[in-house]
Structure 1
Amino acid sequence: MRMNILKKGLFSILIVGGMLSASAVAEARSKVIQAKGSDTILNVSQSIAENYMKENRGARIAVTGGGSGVGISALLNGTTDIAMASRNIKEKEISMAKSKGIDVREVVLGFDGITIVANLANPVKDIDDITLGKIFRGEISNWKEIGGEDAPIVVLSRDSSSGTHEFFKEHIIRENNTKKELEYGEKTLYMPSNEAIKQEIKVNKNAIGYIGMGYMDSTVESIKVDGVEATPENVSNKTYPIAREVYWYVDKNAEEDINKLVDYALSPKGQGIVKEEGFVPVK
């Protein structure tokens, strides 16, 4: 009888052990890598994730936008594995990460040219960077001041959570940060995404805005800056004046599956996707 009890006890332990093992396997399989942040590189990050999952059937990746600031905050709060950003992480954000035990790794995914866009009917095709700053500060408010029609300029910008908003402010509005007190003009309309700016530009002949190069298409007009068009070639050869790196930020101590995804993004296949999506690859 005692033997039967021992057998039953052992059988129960094996069942429980088996359940725990199965649970652990299920949990491992259900692990979803989270990537969150910049809308500028949302599409290219989604394409990389989709192709990676096709080649790695057990992988599960969720990619969402919200802006560079949202992504970096999520990384610091432990609610994302990858922060997508179109600006550098700030020193105070690095310090905050360290205080939470996160050792931030900066991964340059590619290069982007911030494209100035206007309605297809707009006759202005080229604006120098100093004049561009005056427009976005509200100091120039009518198209006739720069060779256009007698009509008010409707200025569109990304909202403050956007890394593109920050970069544009530093390099155009503040003239490469030499005039740190300058800000966007009071009448600036802030838009939630690159696509929102593009859609408004399409229907508003007096609007001007900026979008990531990967969002450019034939429905809006690309305005040259200092006589240079925003193209992958001009970003690559550094002649286009409003170009920047775009990033993935991860924890240096990230799990293996996250590091494998990062390695894929930097591989020839991943960098091919970066190029297909309208950005300049790093390799």
Structure 2
Amino acid sequence: MGWLEIALTTAGLLIGVVSVATPFAADRRARRSKRVGFRKQMDIAIGHNGPAGEGDPRFGLFNDLPGMRDATLVLLRIENDGSRHVEASDYIDANHGLTAEFPGRSIQALDVTLTDEHASLWSHFEDEPGLVVAAPGTLRIPKVPLKPGAYYKILVLLTGGSEGDKVTVAGDIKDGKLHENHSLTPDEKPPVFSSRARWTTVTLGVALIAAATLPLLTPSPLPDDCESGRLRLTGSTAFAPVLKELAQKYRGHCGDEPRITVAARGSRTGVRELALSGEESGSTAGVIAFSDGPRPASYTRLSESRIAVSLFTLVAHDDVRLTNLSVADVRRVYRGEIRNWSQLGGPELPVVLVSRTSGSGTRSALTARVLAGADEPPASSDDCVNRTARTAARVLRCELDSTEQVLDTVAHTPGALGYSELRAASPPDAPKGLHRLTLDGHAPNPDRLDAGGYPYREIEYAYTYGRPPADSLASSFLSYAVDNGTGKGVVATHGHLPCGTPVGLRVCGKDD
């Protein structure tokens, strides 16, 4: 979990805790002040309340009393619900304590009810001024001192108006407040949870949902080994399949943030362009050039990283039927001494050399590792079929721009001999019509490189112009390719030996 998710989750939990604590804290604070509350505990019709002229179900006193057709009973409860004593002197009004209003109704009778616990309050209602009906719907209530938790009730008989009409109580308390409380009426169904409990639950639920979902809705930060930005990978066409998959895996690991493109144009071409563009601009932090073999000695500003040991193989058209060549015979073929495969015990077919252009790292590796530094003969054909150039070369030879072109041409040209990186020439990637050749009986096997014997191999270098900063995308990508388990797995899957493995470290160190 990143720091942003931790922060959001912590904030959500704090909100939840605060939402739970705040109502209780506010209630506690409020209760420490002088508080007089009032509530309407009952407001019911006791009159006929039916249309005139209809039968009257009332009986006895209710039927005998005049004006009872629209009568209602209201029960008011006045209470001290704070934590401080309310004295008679705390009521601000000079003549009375509180005023109850019954708009639209007229007071016909009233009574006060007290429990034995609060019987001492009777005198305040019996002595002057007591309860005073100041107007048909207005009742003056005396200054009654109330201890915390003390209360009294006033039952009022009213006529006119309707059941449920508005009832108000007004008054001012020194250093305190008068407020209305809610009380269930006789016909109300009590809730399962109180209003405070419901609001606390809702608030806490929203806070917890926010704490759980906000991290999911917020973009995750990049892993510690990732960097954002743009990067272009160029150079070796033989290593291009590895680079494409590495770029895809790296982007997936880093949340698709980096923008990495692969534009392979050959090892020498990529290294040369990197060196020249670096000299012109002074920096090419967004470019890495991969090369099958070391850079030219003159490119002193390029910084190298060893990525893998790449394996290459010679391939021949299936009609050639030979499966092994000695290194000595390979050199004779490329010197033009072998012009027909029958000279090596093969079929009666002329030798056709299908080669890469001079910027190819695969070609450079063949020259350095197999041909002992001798270059291939000059190109004599443009189409790998007909001789189109006047040269002293005794064999037909053509040059192509990519590994794929070489393999396709060898597969369709009888007598053809070419070369490629290992995986591209191996099933299921290799085209039909060609097969690999062993050299001196040794097959290209990355698992046995440490034992030596197979010569056609080369270190795969990654070059940057100068050493990239540690927090750059180039540096992060190179670390992913060399040290990350997934990166090394990609390199190995394509038939290369990662330099970041124990065997790879030894081979990469001695293959200079």
TM range, smaller chain: 0.7 to 0.9
**Kept in 1: contact 2:304–2:462 (CA 8 A):** yes
Q: Does 1:90 align with 2:296?
A: yes
Q: Which ranges in structure 2 are unaligned for 5 or more consecutive residues?
A: 1-226, 279-283, 379-392, 502-512
Q: For 1:121, what is the secondary structure of its paired residue?
A: helix
The answer to which structure has the higher helix fraction is 1
**Kept in 1: contact 2:480–2:487 (CA 8 A):** yes
Query: 1:120 matched to which residue of 2?
Result: 318
Query: 1:156 matched to which residue of 2?
Result: 354
**Kept in 2: contact 1:106–1:250 (CA 8 A):** yes
Q: Does 1:281 align with 2:498?
A: yes
**Pairing of 1:40-79 with structure 2 (within 5 A):** 40-56=238-254, 57-76=256-275, 77-78=277-278
Following TM superposition, by how much is the alpha carbon of 1:131 offset from its aligned partner in structure 2, in angstroms? 0.9
Following TM superposition, by how much is the alpha carbon of 1:253 offset from its aligned partner in structure 2, in angstroms? 3.3
Runs of 4+ displaced beyond 4 Å: none
Query: 1:231 matched to which residue of 2?
Result: 445
Larger radius of gyration: 2
Query: 2:473 matched to which residue of 1?
Result: 257
Aligned residue type for 1:203: H
**Pairing of 1:209-228 with structure 2 (within 5 A):** 209-218=418-427, 219=432, 220-228=434-442
Equivalent-residue separation in structure 2 for 1:222 and 1:159 (angstroms): 21
Equivalent-residue separation in structure 1 for 2:288 and 2:436 (angstroms): 31
**Kept in 1: contact 2:234–2:270 (CA 8 A):** yes
Identity of aligned residues (%): 24
Equivalent-residue separation in structure 1 for 2:249 and 2:494 (angstroms): 13
| 1:189 paired residue among 398, 402, 408 | 398
TM-score (norm 2): 0.45
Q: For 1:83, what is the secondary structure of its paired residue?
A: strand
**Kept in 1: contact 2:229–2:473 (CA 8 A):** no
**Kept in 1: contact 2:352–2:397 (CA 8 A):** yes
**Kept in 1: contact 2:310–2:459 (CA 8 A):** yes
Following TM superposition, by how much is the alpha carbon of 1:34 offset from its aligned partner in structure 2, in angstroms? 1.0
Equivalent-residue separation in structure 2 for 1:236 and 1:112 (angstroms): 13
**Kept in 1: contact 2:320–2:341 (CA 8 A):** no
- When structure 1 is superposed on structure 2, of 43-52 and 247-256 the one drifting more is 247-256
Equivalent-residue separation in structure 1 for 2:455 and 2:348 (angstroms): 28
**Kept in 2: contact 1:109–1:247 (CA 8 A):** yes
Query: 1:11 matched to which residue of 2?
Result: none
Query: 1:270 matched to which residue of 2?
Result: 487
Superposed CA offset, 1:71-100 (max 9, x none) = 112211136610110010111122xx3xxx
Aligned residue type for 1:69: R
Query: 2:413 matched to which residue of 1?
Result: 204
TM-score (norm 1): 0.80
Aligned residue type for 1:86: D
Equivalent-residue separation in structure 1 for 2:465 and 2:265 (angstroms): 20
Aligned residue type for 1:225: L
**Kept in 2: contact 1:228–1:234 (CA 8 A):** no
Q: Which ranges in structure 1 are unaligned for 5 or more consecutive residues?
A: 1-28, 98-103
Following TM superposition, by how much is the alpha carbon of 1:30 offset from its aligned partner in structure 2, in angstroms? 8.5
Following TM superposition, by how much is the alpha carbon of 1:66 offset from its aligned partner in structure 2, in angstroms? 0.7
Equivalent-residue separation in structure 2 for 1:114 and 1:264 (angstroms): 24
Q: For 1:92, what is the secondary structure of its paired residue?
A: coil
**Kept in 2: contact 1:112–1:235 (CA 8 A):** no
Superposed CA offset, 1:118-138 (max 9, x none) = 122322111111110111222
Which protein, 1 or 2, shows the higher relative CO under an 8 Å CA cutoff with sep ≥ 6?
1
Following TM superposition, by how much is the alpha carbon of 1:201 offset from its aligned partner in structure 2, in angstroms? 1.4
Q: For 2:329, what is the secondary structure of its paired residue?
A: helix
Aligned residue type for 1:189: C
**Kept in 1: contact 2:313–2:437 (CA 8 A):** yes
Equivalent-residue separation in structure 1 for 2:340 and 2:229 (angstroms): 54
Aligned residue type for 1:230: P
Query: 1:109 matched to which residue of 2?
Result: 307
Query: 1:8 matched to which residue of 2?
Result: none
Equivalent-residue separation in structure 2 for 1:263 and 1:58 (angstroms): 17
**Kept in 2: contact 1:31–1:60 (CA 8 A):** yes
Q: For 1:110, what is the secondary structure of its paired residue?
A: strand
Aligned residue pairs: how many?
242
Q: CA RMSD in A?
A: 1.9
